[in-house]
Amino acid sequence: MTIKQGMKDGIPIALGYHSVSFTFGLMAVAGGLKVWQAVLISAANLTSAGQLAGLDIMLASGSMAEMALAQFIINLRYSLMSIAVSQKADESMTVPARLGIGFGITDEIFALAVGQHETLGRRYMTGLIITPFIGWTLGTLMGAVLGSILPSFVVDALGIALYAMFLAIIIPPVRVDIKVAAVILISAALSCIRYYTPLKGVISSGFTIIIASIAASTVGALLFSKENK
Amino acid sequence: MMDNKLFFTYLIVMAGVTYLVRTVPLLIFRKKIENRFIKSFLFYMPYAVLGSMTFPTIIYSTGDMISGIIGMLVGAVLAFKNKSLMTVAAAACIAALAVKLIMMI
């Protein structure tokens, strides 16, 4: 598959990212960062949850150790995704290619990549990362510059974009595989338990994702193991 | 205002950890995994990650629960009908926006 095909497949992700990173740019500037700083954070990190937590730590003058640990915990799920991508990689994924493509493993890019029936090549993955990267960076720039002009209810409404995209990724497989539905339900239930109990003050949202994901996937793998996948 | 040296130190720590977390596993796990448990685990993992990221946060993502829930329902129905990522995301935003506008009247 070509770089062009990858870039095309990345367009919906880029558009979704654009609205999400718009909010990030807005928040960063409102918090006291300069426009170029907000854009640089997005260009260097390409991750929503990690950047939001990182921004909070910066603005609160947190320690570098806190910054490192928070990023490690919140983004640890990418390690699991990288392992899965590695399983589907073809021989064009050399070490330099992996050093570049590793930068662009995000929830949505990962979901689209592993949803492909074919093996994953360097060119397709590069394309699949470029368009969302542009969307994410441009969205941050626009949010940082224009955010103060838009009415707040519009900005608030855009906040659902990323989560709606998640629905579009997880719901279609549920129709054909009830086991996937069970795994999603377990994970979502664990996340809700943490959210609606005093655990919320104890476990961070990033760590909740890790615990819930590992627990639900383990149950899935033990109870309904895949014959050949 | 944060000085540039401090900003870049934060940026390097933040981006550096994020990059390593993503890239190191991609470099290390190069052989095909044959273990059935691990294969199944990796198959279910992305759905589990997105499940815990989406719920219950999605209903609070727009600043008020009513527009959040309506946006979620619209998105879920369209996702169930196999609409594209962009269609689902746009429809959920428009639904949430419509609810907010109605509530303002």
> Taking CB atoms and an 8 Å cutoff, what residues of chain A touch B1?
32
Domain around A89: 3-169
Average of per-residue pLDDT across A198-206? 81
Average pLDDT, chain A: 88
Say if residue A218 is in the same domain as residue A135. no
ipTM: 0.84
Domain around B94: 31-104
SS (H, E, C) chain B: CCCHHHHHHHHHHHHHHHHHHHHHHHHHCCCCCCCHHHHHHHHHHHHHHHHHHHCCHHHHCCCCHHHHHHHHHHHHHHHHCCCCHHHHHHHHHHHHHHHHHHHHC
Using one digit for the tens of pLDDT, what is the confidence trace for A138-155?
Answer: 999 999 998 778 888 887
pLDDT above 90 (res A218): yes
Q: Is B83 at the interface with chain A, CB within 8 A?
A: yes
> Taking CB atoms and an 8 Å cutoff, what residues of chain A touch B102?
none
Using one digit for the tens of pLDDT, what is the confidence trace for B49-87?
Answer: 889 889 998 999 889 999 999 999 999 999 999 998 778
**CB pairs < 8 Å spanning A and B:** 310
Closest to B36 (Cβ–Cβ): which among A11, A114, A225?
A: A225
Say if residue A126 is in the same domain as residue A185. no
- Which of A120, A145, A169 delimits the end of a domain? A169
Using one digit for the tens of pLDDT, what is the confidence trace for A84-95?
Answer: 888 888 899 999
**pLDDT at residue A227, rounded to an integer:** 60
% of chain A exceeding 90 in pLDDT: 46
Output the CA–CA distances (angstroms, integers) from residue B58 to A83, A213, B70, in the order listed: 28, 17, 10
Q: What is the tally of structural domains in chain A? A: 2
pLDDT above 80 (res A226): no
Say if residue A36 is in the same domain as residue A105. yes
Radius of gyration, CA atoms only, chain A: 18
Whether A76 and B21 lie within 8 Å, measured CB to CB: yes
Whether B54 and A167 lie within 8 Å, measured CB to CB: yes
Q: What is the tally of structural domains in chain B? A: 1
Question: Does the residue B9 lie in any domain?
Answer: no
- Which of A149, A169, A189 delimits the end of a domain? A169
Closest to A37 (Cβ–Cβ): which among B7, B56, B62?
A: B7
Whether B21 and A191 lie within 8 Å, measured CB to CB: no
Question: Does the residue B12 lie in any domain?
Answer: no
Q: Is B54 at the interface with chain A, CB within 8 A?
A: yes
Whether B26 and A77 lie within 8 Å, measured CB to CB: no
Whether B79 and A168 lie within 8 Å, measured CB to CB: yes
**Nearest CA to CA, how far is A117 from chain B (Å)?**
13
DSSP bridge pairs for A120: A89
Say if residue A99 is in the same domain as residue A164. yes
Average of per-residue pLDDT across A181-200? 96
Q: Which residues contact A72 (CB under 8 A, 6 or more apart)?
A: B17, B21
Average of per-residue pLDDT across A35-43? 96
**pLDDT at residue A229, rounded to an integer:** 42
The residue of chain B nearest to residue A188, with distances taken between CA atoms, is B52
Q: Nearest-CA neighbor of A96 among A116, A125, A119, A71?
A: A125
pLDDT above 70 (res A196): yes
pLDDT above 60 (res A108): yes
Closest to B76 (Cβ–Cβ): which among A171, A183, A190?
A: A171
pLDDT interval class at A228 (50, 70, 90)? very low
**pLDDT at residue A130, rounded to an integer:** 96
**pLDDT at residue A215, rounded to an integer:** 94
Whether A209 and B49 lie within 8 Å, measured CB to CB: yes
% of chain A exceeding 70 in pLDDT: 97
Using one digit for the tens of pLDDT, what is the confidence trace for A14-25?
Answer: 987 887 788 789
pLDDT above 50 (res A82): yes
**Nearest CA to CA, how far is A93 from chain B (Å)?**
10
Say if residue A203 is in the same domain as residue A141. no
The Cα A86–Cα A154 span in angstroms is 40
Closest to B46 (Cβ–Cβ): which among A79, A81, A165?
A: A81
Q: Which of A163, A190, A205, A211 to probe by mutation at the B interface, max B CB count within 10 Å?
A: A163
Say if residue A35 is in the same domain as residue A113. yes
Say if residue A164 is in the same domain as residue A181. no
Q: Nearest-CA neighbor of A73 among A225, A213, A200, A229?
A: A213
**pLDDT at residue A29, rounded to an integer:** 86
Whether A58 and B2 lie within 8 Å, measured CB to CB: yes
Whether A158 and B93 lie within 8 Å, measured CB to CB: yes
Say if residue A160 is in the same domain as residue A191. no
DSSP bridge pairs for A89: A120
**pLDDT at residue B1, rounded to an integer:** 61
Say if residue A54 is in the same domain as residue A70. yes
